[in-house]
Amino acid sequence: MLRRPAPTAVLRLIPRRCLFAGLACLLVSGSCAKHGGRGEPPPPPPPGQALTPEPPFPPEDEPLAVKTVDEPIVVAAWAEPQQLPAGGGQSQVLVRIQKRGGHRFPGVEVRLATSAGSLFSGGRVLVTDAQGMTRDRLTTRKTAVITLNAGGTRYRFRVPVAAAH
């Protein structure tokens, strides 16, 4: 019987080399986020368009009633895609709420309504997540005006549908 000696020296060196190479990479880069590890969270989505508030309704006449916030907020809302093709389709409606100074504002109640088509939420109250974001899905065949009430202040923006050729 022939016996070969196991190449134990090679087996021992390869894992150590990989380990040392990985540690050296971390020391040089300062973070493991580039190398598949969990580093900083991703940056926030694009800011969209900062919206200007509408004049307030009397509280008893507010069609999209939500819990009001006691501090000033900055609301950005947009649709992805911004314009729907001829015949309509679906678009994600994204809302980001921040405190003054750009800090995220979780836990803010938001309600949306549309002038055309339908929203996945059906007009129910949505609440911003830890990133100050909430989303809904618009399905429409015609240009829609989205009305939202964020923290007690109303805003509007359009989601156009391209003209048929």
pLDDT tens, 56-81? 655 555 567 788 888 989 999 999 99
Let me know if residue 165 belongs to a domain: no
The continuous run of DSSP H or E covering 22 comes out as: helix 8-29
- Conformation bin of residue 148: beta by default, left when phi > 0, alpha when psi is -120 to 50: beta
Neighbouring residues of 39: CB distance < 8 A, sequence distance ≥ 6: 31, 32, 33
Residues 34 and 54 in one domain: no
Residues 28 and 58 in one domain: no
Query: CATH number for the domain including 93?
Result: 2.60.40.10
Domains contained in the chain, number:
2
Q: Which domain holds residue 12?
A: 1-39
pLDDT of residue 53: 67
Token pair, residue 161, equals: 């549908």
Residues 27 and 53 in one domain: no
Q: Are residues 73 and 146 in the same domain?
A: yes
102-107-108-112 Cα dihedral, nearest 10 degrees: 120
pLDDT at 50: 59
Q: Is the per-residue pLDDT at 147 higher than 80?
A: yes
Residue 164 belongs to a domain: no
Element (H, E) at 149: strand 144-150
Q: Which amino acid makes up residue 15?
A: P
Share of the chain above pLDDT 90, in %: 46
Cβ neighbours around 104 below 10 Å, total: 15
What are the two backbone dihedrals, phi and then psi, of residue 134, each rounded to the nearest 5 degrees? -145, 160
Residue 5 has pLDDT above 60, yes or no: no
Tens of pLDDT along 99-127?
988 899 999 999 999 999 999 999 899 99
